[in-house]
Amino acid sequence: MRKKFTLFILSLLCTISVSMAQELNVKGEVKDEKGLPLPGVSVKIKGTAKGAMTGNNGKYALTAPGNATLVFSFIGYKTIEQAVNSNTTVNVNLSEDNNELNEVVVIGYGTATKKDLTTAVTTVSSKDLKNQPITNPLQAVQGRAAGVQVTAQSGKPGAEIAISIRGNTSITASNSPLYVIDGVTSRNAGFLNPNDIESLTILKDAAAAAIYGSSGANGVVLITTKKGVSGKVKVEFNAFTGISNFWRKQDVLNADQYIDLMKEMGYTSYGDGSNTDWQKETFGTGKQNQYQVSLSGGGNGGNFYLSTGYQQDKGIVAPAQLDRYTVNFNGSQAATPWLKFTGTAALTARNSIDVADNAGVARGGTILAALTTPSTIGIYNPNGSYTTIPNSGGWDNPIAQAYGAKNKSRNFRFIGSFGGEIKFTKDLIFKSTISTNVNQNYYDYNLDAFKTTYGRAEGGIYRNNKTNDNVWLNENILTYTKNVGKNAFSATGGYTLQSSDYNYVEYEENRFYKPQTDQKNDKPVIVPKVPQRAQWAKQSYLTRVTYAYDSKYLLSANFRADGSSRFSDEQRFGYFPSASAGWRISGENFLKDSKTINDLKIRGSWGKVGNDEGIGDYAWMKLYEENAQGDYNLTNLKNTGLSWETTTQSNIGLDLTMFNNRVTFTADAYLKKTNDLLIKVQLAPSAGFAEQAYNVGSMENKGMEFTLSTKNVEKEKFSWSTDMNISFNKNKVTSLGTSTPSLDFGGISARTSAVRVVPGKPLGSFYGLKYTGVDPATGKATYEDLNNDGKIDVKDDRTFIGSAQPDFIYGMTNNFRYGNFGLNIFFQGVQGNQMFNASRIDLEGLNDSKNQSATVLDRWTPQNTNGSIPGSEKGKTENSLTSSRFVENASYLRLKTATLSYNFGDAFLARMNMSRLTVFVTGYNILTFTKYKGLDPEVSQYGANGPSMGVDYGTYPQSRSFLLGVNVGF
What is the DSSP secondary-structure string of 462-474?
A: EEEEEEEEEEEEE
Instruction: Supply φ then ψ for residue 166, to 5 degrees.
Output: 60, 45
Instruction: Supply φ then ψ for residue 884, to 5 degrees.
Output: -65, -15
Cα separation, 255 vs 296, in Å, equals 61
Q: Does residue 844 register a pLDDT over 90? A: yes
Query: What does the pLDDT read at residue 329?
Result: 96
- In one-letter notation, the amino acid at residue 829 is G
- The answer to whether the CB of 970 falls within 8 A of the CB of 914 is yes
Cα separation, 485 vs 491, in Å, equals 18
Specify the length of the chain in residues: 970
Cα separation, 671 vs 277, in Å, equals 52
Within a 13 Å sphere around the CA of 360, how many CA atoms are in the beta-carbon half? Answer: 20
Q: Does residue 399 register a pLDDT over 90? A: yes
Q: Does residue 7 register a pLDDT over 70? A: no
Worst-scoring range by mean pLDDT, 32-41, 199-208, 590-599? 32-41
Query: What does the pLDDT read at residue 628?
Result: 66
What confidence category does residue 925 fall into, taking pLDDT thresholds of 50, 70 and 90? very high
Question: What are the beta bridge partners of residue 665?
Answer: 656, 708
- In one-letter notation, the amino acid at residue 823 is L
- The answer to whether the CB of 244 falls within 8 A of the CB of 288 is yes
Report the chain's C-alpha Rg in angstroms: 32
- The whole-number average pLDDT for the span 391-399 is 92
Residue 521 DSSP label: P
Helices (H) and strands (E) in the chain, counts: 10, 52
Please, what sign has the CA dihedral across residues 377, 381, 386, 391? negative
Cα separation, 641 vs 570, in Å, equals 8
Cα separation, 829 vs 833, in Å, equals 11
Q: β-pairing, 461-484 with 487-510?
A: antiparallel
547 closest CA partner among 482, 600, 478? 482
Residues 6+ apart with CB under 8 A from 81: 46, 69, 70, 71, 72
Q: Does residue 850 register a pLDDT over 70? A: yes
What confidence category does residue 17 fall into, taking pLDDT thresholds of 50, 70 and 90? very low
Query: What does the pLDDT read at residue 98?
Result: 54
Residues 6+ apart with CB under 8 A from 851: 252, 253, 258, 371, 372, 373, 374, 375, 389
Worst-scoring range by mean pLDDT, 156-170, 301-315, 459-473, 707-721? 156-170
Q: Does residue 11 register a pLDDT over 60? A: no
Cα separation, 275 vs 221, in Å, equals 51
What confidence category does residue 9 fall into, taking pLDDT thresholds of 50, 70 and 90? very low
Residues 6+ apart with CB under 8 A from 907: none
130 against 327, higher pLDDT: 327
Mean pLDDT, the chain, whole residue set? 90
Model confidence over 897-913: pLDDT tens digits? Answer: 999 999 998 888 888 88
What confidence category does residue 2 fall into, taking pLDDT thresholds of 50, 70 and 90? very low
Using left for φ > 0, alpha for ψ between -120 and 50, and beta otherwise, residue 260 falls in alpha
Model confidence over 339-369: pLDDT tens digits? Answer: 999 999 999 999 999 999 999 998 889 999 9
Q: What percent of the chain has pLDDT over 90?
A: 64
- CA 970 → CA 234, 305, 368, 705, 916, distances in Å? 6, 15, 49, 41, 7
Cα separation, 313 vs 318, in Å, equals 11
396 closest CA partner among 853, 874, 875, 850? 850
Indicate the burial class of 720 (C-beta count within 10 angstroms; 0-12, 13-18, 19 or more): middle
Output the DSSP codes for 349-416.
EEEEE----SS-GGGT-HHHHHHHS-TTS-SB-TTSPBPB-TTSSS-B-HHHHHHSEEEEEEEEEEEE
Residues 6+ apart with CB under 8 A from 22: 65, 66
Model confidence over 72-124: pLDDT tens digits? Answer: 887 667 788 888 888 889 999 887 665 566 677 778 788 777 777 888 888 88
Cα separation, 950 vs 833, in Å, equals 9
Query: What does the pLDDT read at residue 232?
Result: 81
- In one-letter notation, the amino acid at residue 821 is F
Model confidence over 123-144: pLDDT tens digits? Answer: 888 877 776 777 788 888 899 9
Model confidence over 774-789: pLDDT tens digits? Answer: 999 999 999 999 999 9
Q: How far is CA 128 from the centre of its chain?
A: 14
Q: Does residue 500 register a pLDDT over 90? A: yes
Q: Coil, strand or helix: which one is 782?
A: strand
- The answer to whether the CB of 901 falls within 8 A of the CB of 799 is no
689 closest CA partner among 758, 742, 627, 741? 627
Query: What does the pLDDT read at residue 96?
Result: 66
Range list of β-strands (E), 18-129: 23-31, 42-45, 51-53, 59-65, 69-73, 80-83, 92-93, 104-107, 110-113, 121-125
Query: What does the pLDDT read at residue 689?
Result: 75
- The answer to whether the CB of 197 falls within 8 A of the CB of 123 is no
Cα separation, 803 vs 762, in Å, equals 8
Question: What are the beta bridge partners of residue 951?
Answer: 836
- The whole-number average pLDDT for the span 45-63 is 82
Cα separation, 412 vs 350, in Å, equals 7
Please, what sign has the CA dihedral across residues 422, 423, 425, 427? positive
Question: What are the beta bridge partners of residue 520?
Answer: 513
Q: Does residue 565 register a pLDDT over 80? A: yes
What confidence category does residue 12 fall into, taking pLDDT thresholds of 50, 70 and 90? very low
Q: Does residue 215 register a pLDDT over 70? A: yes
What confidence category does residue 14 fall into, taking pLDDT thresholds of 50, 70 and 90? very low
Question: What are the beta bridge partners of residue 197?
Answer: 225
Query: What does the pLDDT read at residue 75?
Result: 62
What confidence category does residue 884 fall into, taking pLDDT thresholds of 50, 70 and 90? very high
Instruction: Supply φ then ψ for residue 873, to 5 degrees.
Output: -145, 100
- The answer to whether the CB of 934 falls within 8 A of the CB of 888 is yes
Q: Does residue 613 register a pLDDT over 70? A: yes
Question: What are the beta bridge partners of residue 673?
Answer: 648, 700
Q: Does residue 605 register a pLDDT over 90? A: yes
Give the Cβ contact number of residue 297 at 10 Å. Answer: 18
Give the Cβ contact number of residue 263 at 10 Å. Answer: 11
Give the Cβ contact number of residue 708 at 10 Å. Answer: 17
- The whole-number average pLDDT for the span 578-588 is 93
